[in-house]
Structure 1
Amino acid sequence: MASRPPLKMVGDLPLIAYFADNWENVENFQAEEGDLLIDTYPKSGTTWMSEIVDLVLHDGETKTSQRGAIFERVPFLEFAMPDMPTVSYGPWADHVKDFWKIRHQRDILYLFYEDMLEDPKREIRKVMKYIGKDLPEDVVEKIHQHTTFKAMKDNPMANYSTIPSSIMDQTISPFLRKGTWGDWMSHFTVAQIEVFDEYYKKEMSDTDLTFCF
């Protein structure tokens, strides 16, 4: 079994050494005009959207996407909390509802994973419009082909295969799994579905936000 990475204390907070050694940069970080923040709940298409945004920013030039792994080209602004007994990212419902609530008040582009699967090029055009890029149709198609599930699963710069297996063992579960939606139906029992339905009904009762699942 892989050992845990070493920890260092930052104040009263135990952090993975990599983050602790760079904490000064985190504290001093200042967003600039034009910065883009991709905010997703875990396993909701983060890598997919990151690859699309990176390509749109570089006018669909796929060679530039080979300059480094996706987590280096689009870095994460987060840290790990070891031994946390619950989901460290907080409730899913709070995440999706909070951004939905302020989508018209802030400069926010709200996208759905299911919509991206249904019509990828339509969603790519939404990203282009949001960023302020007007790219020709052949470039849109190029971005689409480069960000299909198969293309990304075969791309070492997108599939996280550059991370040592001691940190991410993809023989247990590949980082890019199936690229579909509704796979929960293959795993949930009838009792679990009933529990989730009750949770969804309760948590989403105060919003007009709906999901296809």
Structure 2
Amino acid sequence: MALDKMEDLSLQQMVPRPEPGEVEGITLPKSVCSIWDQVWNFQARPDDLLIATYAKAGTTWTQETVDMIQQNGDVEKCRRATIGKRHPFLEWFIEDPLSTRYFGLELAEAMPSPRTLKTHLPVQLVPPSFWKQNCKVIYVARNAKDNLVSYYHFHRMNKGLPDPGTWEEFMEKFMTGKVLWGSWYDHVKGWWKAKDKHRILYLFYEDMKENPKREIQKILKFLEKDVNQEILNKILHNTSFEIMKENPMANYTRDFQTIMDHSISPFMRKGAVGDWKNHFTVAQNKKFDEDYKKKMADTSLVFRTEL
């Protein structure tokens, strides 16, 4: 066992962190840029469901909730494969000699309908076929401070992402939008505007934490699904942070093993609202708040940073 662990460690050390690239001013992994034409020309089907979020905003939680709804609370069916295989990550493409090859488009194209797909793309980069086919989209937004903290720790443990540098440096990158998938501010505002034109259910991470039952009922209504109280309780239980953290089909311990190092920081770290208070200094908080006020002055969007 010790030898296996050492081999794993040496594999992780050998995986080089990727260089970022750019598509229409949005920072994306170089590997994604290399297949951008294929992403943009992806053919959505009318019964596709797209789960869209900024990275580390409750994506996996929403995916698991949706899958539980679609499988009528059948836990075994929800463990048929890891979350990355059940819901292909549309634009993600990673081909590393030491890692599992993951090509979201290929997985999506091979999947029978109805499909549930995942993306972190800002609204303007979503393949146009989704709008042409009038697909349903569930978007989840998380307050900027907690999102930033979670994203920083995710970069620390995930060699598939560029090196985050120090907390201070990463915060600066986040504020200027020079992180993967672009500016958080533009992302949440862009999707907020789009909900008036398209079939988008816009949810908030903080609402999901505060009252998961109410938010699951919103998803049920949006998906035109009906479940009894017993199934609803089952969904609630199995999508709680504690249960999901221990679920190998949802916690990313089975996928990307040479890339994600859960000993640095687990993929499912805290799932809390207000953890930013353990990271921001008083000066950082003041600077962040002033910048936030300017960037969010042109929107009716309001976020809660504590419950």
TM class by smaller structure: 0.7 to 0.9
Give the AA of the match of 2:15: S
Structure 1 pair 204–6 and aligned structure 2 pair: CA distance change class (3 A): closer
Confirm whether residue 96 of structure 1 aligns to residue 108 of structure 2: no
1:1-213 equivalence runs, <5 A: 1-4=13-16, 14-15=30-31, 26=39, 29-79=42-92, 86-213=178-305
Unpaired runs of at least 5, structure 2 = 1-12, 20-28, 94-159, 164-172
Unpaired runs of at least 5, structure 1 = 8-12
Give the AA of the match of 1:79: W
CA contact (8 A) 1:116 1:123 kept: yes
Say which structure, 1 or 2, has more relative contact order (CA 8 Å, 6+ apart).
2
- The number of aligned residues is 205
Normalising by structure 1, we get a TM-score of 0.87
Structure 1 pair 14–177 and aligned structure 2 pair: CA distance change class (3 A): closer
CA distance in 2, matches of 1:27, 1:148: 34
* Secondary structure of residue in 1 paired with 2:91: coil
Deviations 1:169-212 (A, max 9, x none): 00001000011111010011111101110121001111111000
CA contact (8 A) 2:18 2:162 kept: no
Q: How far did 1:58 drift?
A: 1.5
Normalising by structure 2, we get a TM-score of 0.61
Q: How far did 1:83 drift?
A: 5.7
Deviations 1:117-155 (A, max 9, x none): 001011111111101101111111100000000000000
* Secondary structure of residue in 2 paired with 1:31: coil
| More strand by percentage | 2
Q: Over aligned residues, Cα RMSD in angstroms?
A: 2.6
Structure 1 pair 118–166 and aligned structure 2 pair: CA distance change class (3 A): same
Of all paired residues, the percent bearing the same amino acid is: 48
